[in-house]
């Protein structure tokens, strides 16, 4: 054997170690470059199986609405792949329900969808031009049609209301603000509300008199003034109370 061409065993071992190190480095570089792509392919493959399709649609936050109606309106069907869901479109469809103030739709991996609804808070009713009443919230948004007012405060309008559920009764908003601001201790004195032809808020009091609140400014102060008049002034023959200026009530009598 020629000593000039024969490597020492220690050099051969060193050479093998270097080769293994270089091979390991090549594999690490390959995984760094290709790993995310491989992972994405695996995830996409799983996402296209029935492991992550929609098996359950959960509805929360409903008291007046039927959860099944919310599920149907969302447009999400069982068996749909989670990755194919258009959550924004589902939210828009649910929010279009007259009872819905806001809604969210989220994926609940691996196989459920959560729909959370905030319902509108009814505040009063307005007579509808075609008969019956419309239940409305503080913003004047019409929630539903009703055959009678039930226990809700009635807002009589100078102009017939032609809006339907899902639309806004703008002219009723000042009176709705008054209903929202009125203290509980004045409720026994109150029979209803109206908006006159000048746009002023009028409170119909029990036994006939009215209270003119003017516009929706300073409503809290106006109700304090009204309570003071009703509890400290002789109410016999009382025809009207003008509290459009809160600190200067004007009382009129009809006898």
Which residues pair with residue 58 across a beta bridge?
A: 114
**pLDDT bucket at 1, cuts 50 / 70 / 90:** very low
Residue 82 · residue 50 · CB < 8 Å: no
Domain span holding position 13? 1-47
Same-domain check for residues 136 and 210: yes
Same domain flag for 127 and 92: no
Domain match, 145 and 237 both:
yes
Same domain, 148 and 192: yes
With a pLDDT cut of 90, the percent of the chain lying above it is: 71
Q: Is 216 helix (H, G, I), strand (E, B) or coil?
A: coil
Domain's final residue, options 64, 93, 119: 119
Mean pLDDT estimate for the chain? 87
Give me the CATH number covering residue 139. 3.40.50
8-55 pLDDT tens trace: 566 555 666 666 676 667 767 766 765 555 444 444 444 455 567 999
User: Same domain for 239 and 213?
Assistant: yes
**Residue 220 and residue 153 in one domain:** yes
CA angle 225, 230, 233 (to 5 degrees): 100
Same domain, 68 and 187: no
In this structure, are 80 and 196 located in the same domain? no
Query: Domain end: 119, 144, 172, which one?
Result: 119
Q: Mapped to the 3 state alphabet, what secondary structure does 23-43 carry?
A: HHHHHHHHHHHHHHHHHHHHH
pLDDT band, residue 234 (cuts 50/70/90): confident
- Whether 100 and 160 map to the same domain: the answer is no
Domain count, the chain: 3
Same domain (yes/no): 6, 59: no
Same domain membership, residue 142 and residue 227: yes
Domain boundary at 69, 87, 119, which? 119
Burial tier of 79 (Cβ tally within 10 Å: 0-12, 13-18, 19+): exposed
Smallest CA-to-CA distance from 87 within 69, 101, 108 is with 108
CATH no. for residue 104?
3.10.20.310
Q: What percent of the chain has pLDDT over 70?
A: 82
For residue 140, the SS3 value is: coil
């Amino acid at each position: 054997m020629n000593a000039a061409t024969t490597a020492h065993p220690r050099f051969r071992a060193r050479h093998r170690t270097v080769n293994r190190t270089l091979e390991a480095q090549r594999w690490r570089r390959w995984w760094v470059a290709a790993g995310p792509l491989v992972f994405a392919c695996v995830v996409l493959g799983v996402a296209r199986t029935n492991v992550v399709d929609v098996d359950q649609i959960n509805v929360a936050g409903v008291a007046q609405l039927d959860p099944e109606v919310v599920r149907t309106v969302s447009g999400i069907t069982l068996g749909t792949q989670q990755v194919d869901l258009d959550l924004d479109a589902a939210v828009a469809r649910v929010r279009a329900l007259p009872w819905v103030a806001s809604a969210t739709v989220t994926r609940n991996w691996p196989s459920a969808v959560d729909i959370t609804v905030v319902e509108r808070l009814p505040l009063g009713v307005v007579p509808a031009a075609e008969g019956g009443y419309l239940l409305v919230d503080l913003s004047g948004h019409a929630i539903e049609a009703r055959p009678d007012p039930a226990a809700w405060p009635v807002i009589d309008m100078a102009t017939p209301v032609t809006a339907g559920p899902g639309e806004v009764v703008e002219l009723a908003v000042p009176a709705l603000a008054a209903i929202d601001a009125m203290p509980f201790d004045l409720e026994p004195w109150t029979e209803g509300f109206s908006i006159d032809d000048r746009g002023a808020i009028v409170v119909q009091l029990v036994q006939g008199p009215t209270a003119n609140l003017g516009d929706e400014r300073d409503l809290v102060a106006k109700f304090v003034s009204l309570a003071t008049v009703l509890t400290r002034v002789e109410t016999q023959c009382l025809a009207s109370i003008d509290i459009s200026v809160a600190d200067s009530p004007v009382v009129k009598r009809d006898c």
